[in-house]
């Protein structure tokens, strides 16, 4: 049974790779995917990267003329590939191959992460005594599911084929998660630093990573359970329960400061490495200051107001100049204050899920979001299929995602090519899409909290029953 499942997994993974290669080489040229605002943002567009590389070849700063805003390291790696041609084909094909490899790597890492999480899920159920044999069979291989969701998600496929660098950003994020889940601290730190370097918003991941390294993998909030259990233990006082409780207290280890310090140390090491490399590559062109201004400053100041699927471009195209700075501060603080601390308090016992929530939240409120971000958080969501079986409105949200992602090119067409619509049409679509994303995150978090509640109720009930049997 299990073997057959792995077999199927590999077949589907291979099929997705072949599908990607087919699309890369045989997609009709006149549907220019790389210029679609849904796929490539000013930060992730490969066309802009090629432009930056040309500027650099011409001994100009790659950041000149506000064309390129990505990382200088990525420029040094992908840049040479953008001018190499496979004979008869246009130049983006080599880069696309790199993206395909990045996607496959991400999927494999997701699978490994999922297997770890699945093991942890089973272990937790066993500890709480809720795992019956029937239940055991019901546990889904969430690693395989997540990897396949990542590989076959149309968003991932489109951003892989459509020449945007988001597959590499996603890979960095997944590497960091994988490193933290398998407790490979240097790897986790490397992934985090690369993710932050490629897109600033991944900095929020630092919190779940620290939790993950400090507290361990996702688990139900055991402390709460202990309280209910204490009540049970006091009335019965049976020895077997005491030993069980001891075992539980042992598992709820305290926050392991050593690992976290280790992590911080590696973060410092990797960040200094990245900074040194960047400053080397940008030595003649203004150095690190220029880089921070043109990449992170560009993200925070929302300078490019070309349409995208986010909600900020329209707003900042409309505001008066004198209130622009104030609103920039308000919006950036809004992301920082409303999203991050509450979720961190509520979900600190489930760091991987917290990472999902952060990524989803930031992909809604990003200044330049693309569907590649959605692809990442959707597949992270698939890691929790076992916990989130009871998500509400799932069908409705699914239909909404499909509807709005199909509507987006239509609205763009009506606005740009036909001239019968205007910017409001496209922005309305972006708003609807953001609403559905919000609903998705909210329902997921709710379902997770409900799941914890249900576990708590189940253990409490079981204890009551065992207490009653012990009395009589």
Partner 1 sequence: MAAVNRDNEEEVKTDDGSPKIKPRPIVRLGIFLIAHSPVFSVVFSAAGVLALLLLPLLAKNTYISENALMPGSARSMLSNRDVSDGSKLVKDIKNFRLNHEGQGVEVQKLIGKYMSDMGAEVSYQKFHPEGNQFHPLHFFSGPDSYTLLENVSCASYGVNVAGIIRAPRGDGKESIVLVTPYDFINGGDYEDLSLGIVSSLFSLLSRVTWLSKDIIWLVADSRYGDYRPVAAWLTEYHSPSFKVSDLLKCDEQNTADNFRRAGTMAAALVLKVDGRSEKFEDTLSIYAEASNGQMPNLDLINVVNYLAVHRQGFYVKVEKVVSLLSSSWLKIFGEIFEAVGKLAHMLNPDWNFGIPAADYLEGSATLASSLYSQALGIPTGPHGAFRDYQVDAITLKVSPRFPPDSKTRQHDFFLRGARLLEGTIRSVNNLLEKFHQSFFLYMLTSPSKFISVGVYMIAFALLVAPLPMVAASLYIDGCKSLTNSTDNPTENFKSWKWLDAAKQVFTLHLFGFIVTLLPYFICQVPGQHSPTNRSIMWGTTSSSLLLITFVTMPGCSPFSSRLHGTNWAILKSVTISAAFIGLCLMSIINFATAEIGALLLVPTCLMAQPIKPALRSRRLKSLLGAFCSIVLLTIGFPVMFFAISKGLLGEGLVGLSLGGEFWTWLESLWAWKSATYLYIGMVHLPCWLLCLCILFHPS
For position 88 contacting partner 1 by CB under 8 A, the verdict is no
Cα distance between residue 156 and residue 16, in whole Å: 11
Pick between residue 286 and residue 403 the one whose CB is nearest to partner 1: 403
* Least Å from the CB of residue 20 to partner 1: 17
For position 389 contacting partner 1 by CB under 8 A, the verdict is yes
Pick between residue 266 and residue 415 the one whose CB is nearest to partner 1: 415
Q: Which of residues 122-151 bind partner 1 (CB under 8 A)?
A: 134-135, 137-138
Contact pick of 76, 115, 413, 466 for partner 1 (by CB under 8 A)? 413
365 membership: H or E segment, kind and range: helix 351-365
For position 428 contacting partner 1 by CB under 8 A, the verdict is no
Structure tokens, 456: 């708590």
* Least Å from the CB of residue 412 to partner 1: 9
Inter-residue contact 139 to 470 (CB < 8 Å): no
Cα distance between residue 136 and residue 214, in whole Å: 28
CB neighbours of 78 closer than 8 A, spacing ≥ 6? 46, 49, 53, 95, 98, 165
Q: Which of residues 281-300 bind partner 1 (CB under 8 A)?
A: none
Reduced to 3 states (helix: H, G, I; strand: E, B; else coil), residue 45 is: strand
Q: Which one of the spans 164-172, 231-239, 241-249, 412-420 is the region binding partner 1 (CB under 8 A)?
A: 412-420
Q: Which one of the spans 12-20, 166-174, 217-225, 404-412 is the region binding partner 1 (CB under 8 A)?
A: 404-412
Binding mask 19-58 for partner 1 (x = CB under 8 A): ---------x-xxx--------------------------
For position 392 contacting partner 1 by CB under 8 A, the verdict is yes
CA distance to 231, 320, 343, 376, 382, per residue, from 113 (Å): 36, 47, 22, 14, 12
Contact pick of 186, 221, 409, 428 for partner 1 (by CB under 8 A)? 409
Q: Which one of the spans 95-103, 280-288, 397-405, 458-466 is the region binding partner 1 (CB under 8 A)?
A: 397-405
Contact pick of 318, 396, 457, 461 for partner 1 (by CB under 8 A)? 396
**Residues in contact with partner 1, total (CB under 8 A)?**
33
User: Would you tell me which residues interact with partner 1 (CB under 8 A)?
Assistant: 28, 30-32, 134-135, 137-138, 389-396, 398-400, 402-403, 406-407, 409-411, 413-414, 416-420
């Amino acid at each position: 049974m299990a073997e057959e499942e792995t077999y199927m997994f590999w077949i589907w993974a291979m099929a997705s790779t072949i599908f990607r290669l087919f699309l890369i080489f045989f997609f009709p040229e006149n549907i220019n995917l790389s210029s679609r605002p849904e796929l490539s943002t000013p930060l992730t567009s490969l066309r802009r990267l090629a432009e930056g590389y040309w500027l650099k070849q011409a001994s100009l700063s790659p950041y000149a003329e506000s064309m390129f805003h990505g990382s200088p390291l990525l420029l040094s790696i992908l840049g040479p590939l953008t001018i190499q041609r496979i004979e008869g084909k246009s130049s983006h094909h080599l880069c696309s191959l790199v993206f395909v490899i990045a996607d496959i790597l991400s999927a494999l890492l997701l699978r490994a992460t999922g297997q770890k999480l699945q093991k942890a899920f089973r272990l937790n159920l066993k500890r709480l005594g809720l795992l019956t044999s029937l239940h055991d069979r019901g546990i889904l291989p969430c690693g395989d599911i997540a990897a396949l969701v990542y590989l076959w998600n149309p968003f991932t496929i489109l951003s892989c084929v459509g020449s945007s660098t988001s597959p590499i950003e996603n890979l960095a994020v997944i590497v960091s998660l994988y490193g933290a889940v398998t407790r490979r601290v240097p790897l986790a730190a490397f992934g985090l630093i690369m993710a932050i370097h490629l897109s600033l918003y991944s900095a929020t991941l630092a919190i779940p990573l620290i939790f993950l390294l400090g507290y361990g993998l996702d688990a139900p909030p055991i402390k709460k359970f202990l309280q209910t259990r204490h009540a049970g233990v006091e009335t019965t006082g049976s020895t077997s329960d005491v030993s069980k409780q001891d075992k539980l207290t042992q598992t709820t280890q305290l926050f392991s400061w050593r690992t976290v310090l280790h992590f911080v140390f590696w973060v410092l090491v990797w960040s200094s490495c990245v900074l040194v490399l960047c400053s080397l590559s940008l030595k003649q062109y203004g150095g690190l200051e220029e880089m921070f201004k043109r990449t992170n400053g560009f993200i925070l100041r929302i300078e490019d107001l070309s349409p995208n699927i986010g909600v900020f471009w329209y707003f900042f195209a409309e505001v008066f100049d004198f209130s622009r700075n104030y609103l920039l501060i308000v919006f950036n603080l809004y992301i920082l204050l409303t999203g991050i601390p509450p979720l961190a308090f509520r979900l600190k016992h489930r760091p991987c899920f917290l990472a999902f929530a952060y990524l989803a939240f930031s992909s809604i409120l990003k200044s330049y979001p693309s569907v590649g971000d959605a692809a990442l958080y959707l597949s992270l969501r698939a890691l929790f299929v076992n916990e989130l079986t009871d998500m509400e409105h799932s069908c409705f949200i699914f239909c909404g995602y499909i509807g709005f992602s199909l509507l987006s090119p239509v609205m763009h067409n009506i606005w740009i090519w036909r001239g019968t619509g205007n910017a409001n049409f496209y922005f309305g679509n972006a708003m609807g899409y953001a609403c559905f994303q919000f609903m998705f995150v909210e329902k997921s978090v709710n379902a997770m909290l409900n799941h914890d509640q249900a576990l708590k109720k189940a253990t409490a009930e079981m204890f009551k029953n065992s207490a009653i049997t012990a009395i009589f």
